[in-house]
């Protein structure tokens, strides 16, 4: 495999261009987009395939690159020059190729529930193969699929093109089903079967943490030799600490009180992310006469369209509706301001393969209080950059939040250490490791 491979990146059920924090869009969207850009910075030609969800979407979106002479390859660039870069067999040294995002028609455009998507995977695979047919034979060097639905399409494409299939699960059904919230629906058996098939047929499996690598081996029978731990990155330039003046300015800009503790939850409003635990914890604090912080929920509904209304209704029942502020998901440019305005970022998730929000918050110098599950145990350095909470008992969460917010010296120490904890993660390192995984996955095919 060449040093700068041509990568078919599959993200079937959610587009990396979608706004994270609502519906099915979350950390995986950020992962696919940032990884693709980091790979392009190393000369890789990356094409992302995602299902078209509207007839208004362009067939292909070109994310800008840079020519070898330093001139931009963007919407204003000479189309012939862009085509020259994209169709060359080898990337000219110093060139950052544009990343292409292909919207592939597969099934009805109107929104489908994620559980209905297996029925359109054949159409998705056909669309991906048609796109490749317009290229010269042997164009792609590797297929990298994300989530099990993409893995099913990836199996077909990689087999047809005789290239390695590299798969990143992001979440696993058996792990989620072992930690369901009360009343939450389990992942269907068809997903478990689909994951088993993808695990069995992938040339390489990418786990975000050692814990996830163990789950792939023990729960899905993955060959340990094919499992590679590659930690996701965080944009250390976008998310950076600021001083007290900038933090105060962030609160003013967002209309938040200057004299009240602020706990931020950033993510999809769904049972898996468990924002209800935080609302119940606020109720515990109020009932016990302790100070109640302002909880800002930055996200939209996922799974059920009524999820946000249900959360606000719960706040009323718990007697803390005056202490819960729900806002829509923030853009990537807006998100640092929200982090800077918070005293603490809380992640009570019942399952997390990684937990990108925790890494971003720590990069911005904000302590994290997180459930001791999945990748959060890797990101949050307990007693140094934040607190890991065992279980989801609101009383325990109330005690941990009150204890940290009430100890300004400890809060300041965690804040000072948070950036150092996050600097372990960077997209450059992630891309470098993935290029090595691509090369290893291709080795058996060239013997």
Q: What average pLDDT values come out for the chain (447 residues) when binned by 10 residues?
A: 84 87 79 95 95 90 86 78 80 88 88 82 94 82 97 96 96 92 88 97 96 96 97 94 96 96 95 95 97 96 88 96 95 95 97 92 98 94 96 97 97 96 93 97 70
- Quick check: 82 and 98 in contact, CB under 8 A? yes
Q: Which CATH class is domain 244-422?
A: alpha beta
Residue 171 known to bind ligand: yes
**In whole angstroms, what is the distance from residue 181 CA to residue 174 CA?**
14
Neighbouring residues of 144: CB distance < 8 A, sequence distance ≥ 6:
7, 8, 9, 10, 154, 166, 167, 168, 434, 438
Residue 28 known to bind ligand: yes
Residue 9 known to bind ligand: no
Residue 164 known to bind ligand: no
- Quick check: 348 and 392 in contact, CB under 8 A? yes
Q: What is the largest CA-CA distance in the chain?
A: 70
Residue 1 known to bind ligand: no
pLDDT of residue 2: 56
Signed CA dihedral, 357, 359, 362, 368: sign only: positive
Region of residue 13 (phi > 0: left; psi between -120 and 50: alpha; otherwise: beta): alpha
pLDDT of residue 108: 85
Residue 19 known to bind ligand: yes
Q: Which CATH architecture has domain 6-233+426-446?
A: 3-Layer(aba) Sandwich (3.40)
Could you state, in order of their start, the residue ranges of all structural domains in the chain?
Answer: 6-233+426-446, 244-422
pLDDT of residue 1: 58
Say if pTM beats, i.e. exceeds, 0.85. Answer: yes
List, for residues 55-85, the tens digit of each pLDDT value.
Answer: 888 999 998 888 888 888 887 777 787 788 8
pLDDT of residue 70: 82
List, for residues 357-388, the tens digit of each pLDDT value.
Answer: 999 999 999 999 999 999 999 999 999 999 99
Residue 13 known to bind ligand: yes
Residue 47 known to bind ligand: no
Residue 414 known to bind ligand: no
Place of tokens 């969800």: 53
Residue 144 known to bind ligand: no
Region of residue 43 (phi > 0: left; psi between -120 and 50: alpha; otherwise: beta): left
Rounded to the nearest 5°, which phi and psi values hold at 149? -60, -45
């Amino acid at each position: 495999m060449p040093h700068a491979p041509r990568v078919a990146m599959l993200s079937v059920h959610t587009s990396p261009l979608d706004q994270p924090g609502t519906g099915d869009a979350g950390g995986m969207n950020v992962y696919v987009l940032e990884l693709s850009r980091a790979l392009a910075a190393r000369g890789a030609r990356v094409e992302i395939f995602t299902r078209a969800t509207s007839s208004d979407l362009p067939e292909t979106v070109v994310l800008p690159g840079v020519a070898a002479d330093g001139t931009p390859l963007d919407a204003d660039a000479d189309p012939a020059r862009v085509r020259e870069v994209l169709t060359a067999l080898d990337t000219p040294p110093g060139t950052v190729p544009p990343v292409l995002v292909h919207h592939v028609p597969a099934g009805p455009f109107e929104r489908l529930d994620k559980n209905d998507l297996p029925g359109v995977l054949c159409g998705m695979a056909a669309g991906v193969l048609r796109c490749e047919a317009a290229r010269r034979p042997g164009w792609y060097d590797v297929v990298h699929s994300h989530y099990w639905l993409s893995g099913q399409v990836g199996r077909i494409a990689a087999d047809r093109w005789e290239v390695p299939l590299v798969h990143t699960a992001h979440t696993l059904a058996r792990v989620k089903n072992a930690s369901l919230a009360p009343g939450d629906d389990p992942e269907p058996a068809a997903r478990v079967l689909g994951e088993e098939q993808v695990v069995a047929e992938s040339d390489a499996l990418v786990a975000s943490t050692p814990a996830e690598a163990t789950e792939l081996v023990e729960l899905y029978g993955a060959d340990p030799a094919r499992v590679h731990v590659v930690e996701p990155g965080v944009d250390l330039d976008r998310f950076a600490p600021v001083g007290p003046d900038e933090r105060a300015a962030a609160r003013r800009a967002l209309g938040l009180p200057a004299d009240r503790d602020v706990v931020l939850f950033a993510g999809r409003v769904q049972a898996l992310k468990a924002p209800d635990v935080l609302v119940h914890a606020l109720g515990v604090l109020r009932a016990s006469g302790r100070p109640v912080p302002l909880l800002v929920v930055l996200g939209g509904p996922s799974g059920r369209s009524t999820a946000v209304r249900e959360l606000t209704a719960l706040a009323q029942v718990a007697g803390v509706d005056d202490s819960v502020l729900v806002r829509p998901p923030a853009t990537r440019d807006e998100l640092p301001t929200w982090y800077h305005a918070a005293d603490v970022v809380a992640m009570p998730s019942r399952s997390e393969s990684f937990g990108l929000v925790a890494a971003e918050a720590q990069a911005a110098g904000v302590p994290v209080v997180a459930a001791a599950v999945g990748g959060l145990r890797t990101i949050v350095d307990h007693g140094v950059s934040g607190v890991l909470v065992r279980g989801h008992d609101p009383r325990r969460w109330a005690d941990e939040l009150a204890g940290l917010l009430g100890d300004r010296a400890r809060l300041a120490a965690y804040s000072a250490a948070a950036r150092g904890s996050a600097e372990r993660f960077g997209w450059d390192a992630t891309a470098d490791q993935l290029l090595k995984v691509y090369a290893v996955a291709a080795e058996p095919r060239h013997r």
